[in-house]
Structure 1
Amino acid sequence: MLSAVRFSRSGLFTGLLLGLSCITTLPALAASDSDPLTRSTLTGDWGGLRHQLNEDGIKFTGDYSGETAYNADGGLHRSARYSQNLKLGVQFDLSKLYGVDNAGKVQLTINDRRGNSASQDLVGNRLPIQENYGGLYTRLTELSYERSLFTPALNVKLGYMAMGNDLGGLDSGILCNFMNAGFCGHPLNMSGGSGWTNYPNAHLGVRVKYDLSPSWQLRVAAFNVDPESNGDSSRAWHLGPKHTTGTVVPIELVYKHAGELPGEYKVGYYYDNSDVQRIGSDDDVSGRGGHYLLVDQAVWRSPTSEGRSLHAFGQYSAASQAASPFSKWYGTGLVLYKPFEGRPHDTLALGYGRAVPNPRSRDVQQDAALANGAAFPNLDSAEQLIEFGYGYQATPWLTLRPNVQYIIEPGAFSGQDIDNALVMGLQVKASL
């Protein structure tokens, strides 16, 4: 089945991975004091070099994710698809490097994606079954500078980066206990209906965080909108804008509380001043925006087992009715941390999501079908997703996440009558 997976190859990609493999793996093999089953990263401490560099102000990071999905029933075809993401980064702590207080940090990140899409090839649905699929090439994903300004409460970051790294998602990371991109990351109608960009798509911008109190924080940003650069491999190493259409400005209020049952709450609004075509019309609409609410709340904590707790999450997002093909997203679910006494770092996750297509898009599809003399299917007008998964922490650096996804009405966005799909998946994550 996996023979159906096809990879594009290039000299740049092969050379880059070969070089990085040599750099990261060989020192690890020389580190006799590090047990590969207990160390925090796959490549270890590089014989002490990694720790020393970190102490000096140079921190290397890396992670790999591989996602295999098999369509067992419904959808378009019975088969499997595999996709992968490799991220390598280095952070320079300028205060440590130069002995200057509050000199800030520089972050450099390179990303590479390969593989094939189960959603496109096997199911025909809109919400990506593999969250790491998309933009299948090597690219620069961040070159930024960050520091506190005037007061420790004010933090500023600017440069080339993805908006979604700092806004629009839950900081707790609860949503990445799932493999479907409908949960893991950000409500997809943000990026589907505006200039909002999520990793690995990056643009020039600035982000400001201000701590109003220990529990409250305000986040504001401004990013260049250049839609033609998203997914364009010829722009993989170009920081500057080429086809700017405008600026997108998000503002986000964050509330976090600690205690016996901690929680995180976010409410946000964003506006993109680009002129875009109105759906179902030849006219342009000036500006498009949206709003969102995100919640992660602990609802139970074991009085006898340290670390065992149950969290509930919720997502709501609404986008521009005039220009977004995807008007609303609703998501909710539960994550149980430490489901078994002997598995302190495992998780059990169940989520439900509902993605609502814009009625304007549905009208355009129906008119096109009628014009061609074809019947338009009687759809419920929303793609729905149920995902159940178990996160098995095999080692401190390796997580295996078998999961089951049930896609209801996969053709809601394409206007096709496609049978509901049952997808079996496995996600592998490794810290390098």
Structure 2
Amino acid sequence: MWCLMGLSMNSGAHAQSAFALDSPWMFGDWNGARTELQAKGYSFNLGYTGEMASLMDAKVHSNHGTEYADQFVLGSHFDLGQILGWEDTEAQIIVTERNGHSLSQTSDALEGHLSSTQEVWGRGQTWRLTNLWIKTQFLNQKLDIKVGRFGEGEDFNSFDCDFQNLALCGSQVGNWVGDQWFNWPVSQWAARLKYQISPELFSQIGVYEYNPENLKRSQGFNLSTSGSDGVIVPIELVWQPKIGVQDKTGEYRLGYYYSSADAVEIQNPNATSHKQGMWIVVKQQLLQHEQDPHRGVTGLINLTMHDDKSNSVDNMQNIGLIYTGLLDIRPRDEIALGFARIHLNDDLNTGQDEEYNTELYYGLQATNWLMIRPNLQYIRHVGAYKDGENVWVGGIKFQTAF
């Protein structure tokens, strides 16, 4: 998932020392060199996300395991207008490394868990080239074209990843059609075209190589198209209004995807079809704290629906509320509650139905470069079995910008 922090730099931070609380970076401004390089078009970031999960209680199983997973992100962003004089053009390269283990994979109480208690785990604990792209704009910045290597969830069905439970974090299409739609940190050759219809409305379409070779741990830096077996084509309409006298911000996404790759049908293993589906994503500030646009209550909704011929998950929904700045003495802290429902395809005929994942977290903005989110998760009907486990998990998520 997208866990990169600090790529949007604070140009007002001049020569701040390492570990300064008000610096956007743990290691400071490199004696002013970092801000100077940014002014010339070069931005650098080293980010870290760590997630611990511990089984607190279960209906049947009594073993209480603990696991830790993490991710390092090394990235560079280039303003090619400043560097080379290429107007309205930028480029990005990001390398990631994942380590550790997931409680959902090692705990008997969570055997068959459809989601994951640690979203940062997965896609092979290895080094990967996650971004290698160039983007440029035409027609007075209305037309935006991006080409290179990146994942679908970076632009389509995009969703915040503040929760630790996977069913409440990031592009949900990639979580339930993950055999073909590859989210962060996997990349593939792709092109995305976006057109700004009005200041609040844009549409976009993408073409993404489907290549199962990219999932292998040994292929983290694979640039070859050998093994390609079709393309994923998502389209999306995005509305970003400012509502009411306080201009409360919102983002509304409506999208559809189609895959040209063959997929084995569930009811007829000798036949193939093509995966397709749609999504609705809503993020809307509902209440604003006094006159501060950065404080208040924001609502989140993510709905995905998938074809029932070849996909084991035919629909999922999540909903959440985040209150930023509840306390005047902690204006950047967050408290959030999220709930997700995952429904398995009835055609599987396995006796499975729905799994529910709930998470409550408190986000402590300890410094400008460190966010700490202790959380409590409740998973009901693990594996979507009606008589399955009901599990309580305690977790903590760290996000740091070095």
Give the TM-score normalised by the residue count of structure 2.
0.90
In 2, Cα distance between equivalents of 1:396 and 1:32: 12
From 198, 207, 215, the counterpart of 1:213 = 198
The 1:48/1:303 distance shift into structure 2, 3 A limit, reads: closer
2:396 corresponds to 1:426 = yes
Q: Give the aligned residue type for 1:162.
A: G
Cα deviation digits, residues 316-374 of structure 1 (max 9, x gap): 1011201111111011111111011111111110011100011122x1x36xxxxxxxx
In 1, Cα distance between equivalents of 2:173 and 2:379: 16
In 2, Cα distance between equivalents of 1:159 and 1:323: 29
The 1:190/1:82 distance shift into structure 2, 3 A limit, reads: closer
1:189 and 1:326 in contact (8 A); partners too: no
Cα deviation digits, residues 89-121 of structure 1 (max 9, x gap): 11222221123433x122111000000011111
In 2, Cα distance between equivalents of 1:400 and 1:329: 28
2:102 corresponds to 1:113 = no
Q: Secondary structure at the match of 2:156?
A: coil
Q: Which residue of 2 aligns with 1:264?
A: 251
Q: Which residue of 2 aligns with 1:233?
A: 217
Q: Which residue of 2 aligns with 1:313?
A: 300
From 288, 296, 300, the counterpart of 1:301 = 288
Q: Which residue of 2 aligns with 1:95?
A: 81
Give ranges in structure 1 of 5+ residues lacking alignment: 1-30, 367-378
In 1, Cα distance between equivalents of 2:277 and 2:249: 28
Q: Secondary structure at the match of 1:195?
A: coil
Give ranges in structure 2 of 5+ residues lacking alignment: 1-14
2:128 and 2:186 in contact (8 A); partners too: no
Shift of 1:417: 4.8
The 1:32/1:101 distance shift into structure 2, 3 A limit, reads: closer
Q: Which has the larger radius of gyration?
A: 1
Q: Give the aligned residue type for 1:50.
A: R
Q: Which residue of 2 aligns with 1:279?
A: 266
In 1, Cα distance between equivalents of 2:190 and 2:180: 12
Q: Which residue of 1 aligns with 2:39?
A: 55
Shift of 1:137: 0.3
Q: Give the aligned residue type for 2:85.
A: G
Q: Give the aligned residue type for 1:386.
A: T
In 1, Cα distance between equivalents of 2:19 and 2:66: 34
The 1:382/1:189 distance shift into structure 2, 3 A limit, reads: farther
The 1:35/1:274 distance shift into structure 2, 3 A limit, reads: closer
Shift of 1:275: 1.0
Q: Give the aligned residue type for 2:325.
A: K
2:121 corresponds to 1:133 = yes
2:376 and 2:393 in contact (8 A); partners too: yes
Q: Secondary structure at the match of 2:32?
A: helix
2:355 and 2:379 in contact (8 A); partners too: yes
Q: Secondary structure at the match of 2:382?
A: coil
Q: Give the aligned residue type for 1:392.
A: L
Shift of 1:277: 0.8
The 1:56/1:262 distance shift into structure 2, 3 A limit, reads: closer
Q: Give the aligned residue type for 2:120.
A: N
Shift of 1:427: 0.3
In 1, Cα distance between equivalents of 2:293 and 2:397: 27
Q: Give the aligned residue type for 1:129.
A: T
From 373, 377, 388, the counterpart of 1:405 = 377
Q: Which residue of 1 aligns with 2:55?
A: 71
Cα deviation digits, residues 157-193 of structure 1 (max 9, x gap): 10011111111113xx3xx231111111011466526
The 1:284/1:241 distance shift into structure 2, 3 A limit, reads: farther
In 1, Cα distance between equivalents of 2:301 and 2:394: 24
1:67 and 1:82 in contact (8 A); partners too: yes
Moved more, 221-230 or 196-205: 221-230
Q: Which residue of 2 aligns with 1:196?
A: 181
Shift of 1:280: 3.4
1:356 and 1:383 in contact (8 A); partners too: yes
From 69, 72, 79, the counterpart of 1:83 = 69
How many residues matched?
379
Shift of 1:36: 2.1
Q: Which residue of 2 aligns with 1:26?
A: none
The 1:304/1:254 distance shift into structure 2, 3 A limit, reads: closer
The 1:235/1:305 distance shift into structure 2, 3 A limit, reads: closer
2:264 corresponds to 1:253 = no
In 2, Cα distance between equivalents of 1:43 and 1:190: 34
In 2, Cα distance between equivalents of 1:417 and 1:92: 53
CA RMSD across the alignment: 1.9
Map 1:140-151; keep pairs closer than 5 Å.
Answer: 140-151=129-140
Q: Secondary structure at the match of 1:308?
A: strand
1:177 and 1:347 in contact (8 A); partners too: no
Q: Secondary structure at the match of 1:185?
A: coil
2:362 and 2:374 in contact (8 A); partners too: yes
Cα deviation digits, residues 62-88 of structure 1 (max 9, x gap): 210000000011175311000001111
The 1:67/1:32 distance shift into structure 2, 3 A limit, reads: closer
Q: Secondary structure at the match of 1:411?
A: helix
In 1, Cα distance between equivalents of 2:147 and 2:176: 20
In 1, Cα distance between equivalents of 2:116 and 2:175: 15
Shift of 1:418: 3.4
